[in-house]
Structure 1
């Protein structure tokens, strides 16, 4: 067991047989610290402001409650978008999309991704047809919210801001504030961040309508924001081939 894991098992949670099948078939047995601290509270419907390192398992911390909640509501494409996940970069959005795609194969749910570098007409078509879970970057999401007809968000149940500190660091603060103004207020909001800053507190006051549950899974050394068991590497690529290389890595 790595230092990032706990002795708590996913089978201890009140999860559907479909989600448990996904976890079992993909080798997920014991929860990480952020998963053990956040999944049950999120399932209960509270707003969450969580601090967790990159590589801590936070993606499943919000994806599992999302699919469980939408399954409970019998959410269909005709209902539009039930969950919106905002990420700071295309690369992170693609990673979340790939995990979500594997998870929803066990459920009768749909997911799409809206990011720069992908044909916008295809995104338009997917949003018009209705997608239960939408994952995207702030700039592209704002474009669709303003310009894509029949992008139905009136039934939005859960908003996730993943790596919120990075969203603010890369200059998306204004876009994020504008997106928040367009979303239904009657929703659950989940904010995940590796660090806590004054800008983050400002955004939390705008996005979290209720007093959030604050969760921390970071070590005492806040300079170490990446888990020890996460290997990092890089590949040199030309600008024109960057997305193709990224897709090949993530497959």
Structure 2
């Protein structure tokens, strides 16, 4: 049996994580990509260049590597917990949608992304969700920190599997809220204890309307995945009703295979300077 960590080792781990978070924030702020720029157009970073915090041995001057244009996950300003989850899942090199969107998403910007199914967009929003809550030291008492909306039960289930893999070393609670999986009354008992919700639109709105004390007032990140598909199957009014009940101060990541007029209308409603 593994021995439980002592109080001193837990305290040391917490201090190490707080120090890591401070470094990640400084790294992101110092190398923040210009708004509207396309990191994919930049030259890839040289693999032999130092990554992260760099201290000049002669002058002691501290600088940070650029992460806009990074092609590998370890070149991004993300936590060790997320890096371990990515490594466990076999994720090393980024796809085009990840290279393009992650530098902007990690520093808190809204994203309007066009990416076909299978292009890797799931990690383009799962990573920012995990990192935002990690930097905020999100805990059980903080409630719902992120909502990820998917058009179908099957796609929601696939997202949940990716989240479990990449988020394995984080301590967030996550739930899958979809019709037909379990009785909604069972979900109502637990939904307020969850940090990350992956859900279909109808089920989420049902909880918003029916679940006592269902609270999204502290929401940090909203994700709309396969937005064109969500709208195609008749959830426009449902989405509008959901968005109207969420705090305006939040980050929103909207991904769609196509940029239809309906998607553009939704983007205008949901996104701020994407």
TM bracket (short chain) = 0.7 to 0.9
2:111 alignment partner in structure 1: 48
Q: CA deviation at 1:118?
A: 1.8
List alignment gaps of at least 5 residues for structure 1: 1-5, 213-251
Report SS of the residue matched to 1:98: helix
Q: CA deviation at 1:151?
A: 1.9
Q: CA deviation at 1:103?
A: 2.2
Alignment of 1:185-200 (within 5 A): 185-200=248-263
Report SS of the residue matched to 1:30: coil
Q: What is the root-mean-square deviation of aligned Cα atoms in Å?
A: 1.2
Q: CA deviation at 1:31?
A: 0.5
Report SS of the residue matched to 1:71: helix
| Contact 1:15 1:68 (8 Å CA) reproduced | yes
- Residue deviations 1:144-163, cap 9 Å, x none? 01111132211001100000
1:38 alignment partner in structure 2: 101
Q: Does 2:80 correspond to 1:17?
A: yes
**Which residue, 181, 184, 189 being the options, matches 1:125?**
189
- Residue deviations 1:25-73, cap 9 Å, x none? 2211111111111111001111110000100110011001110110110
Q: Does 2:135 correspond to 1:72?
A: yes
2:200 alignment partner in structure 1: 137
- Residue deviations 1:71-106, cap 9 Å, x none? 110111211111000011111111111111222221
Equivalents in 2 of 1:181, 1:192: separation in Å?
19
**Which residue, 139, 143, 147 being the options, matches 1:84?**
147
List alignment gaps of at least 5 residues for structure 2: 1-43, 45-69
Q: Does 2:229 correspond to 1:166?
A: yes
TM-score, with structure 1 as normaliser: 0.79
**Which residue, 82, 96, 99 being the options, matches 2:159?**
96
- Residue deviations 1:110-164, cap 9 Å, x none? 1101111022122112213x11100101111000011111322110011000000
Equivalents in 2 of 1:173, 1:97: separation in Å?
23
2:273 alignment partner in structure 1: 211
| Contact 1:23 1:29 (8 Å CA) reproduced | yes
More deviation, 66-75/144-153: 144-153
| Contact 1:104 1:110 (8 Å CA) reproduced | no
Alignment of 1:172-251 (within 5 A): 172-208=235-271, 210-212=272-274
The number of residue pairs the alignment matches comes to 205
Equivalents in 1 of 2:181, 2:212: separation in Å?
18
| Contact 1:80 1:151 (8 Å CA) reproduced | no
Report SS of the residue matched to 1:14: coil
Equivalents in 2 of 1:185, 1:27: separation in Å?
36
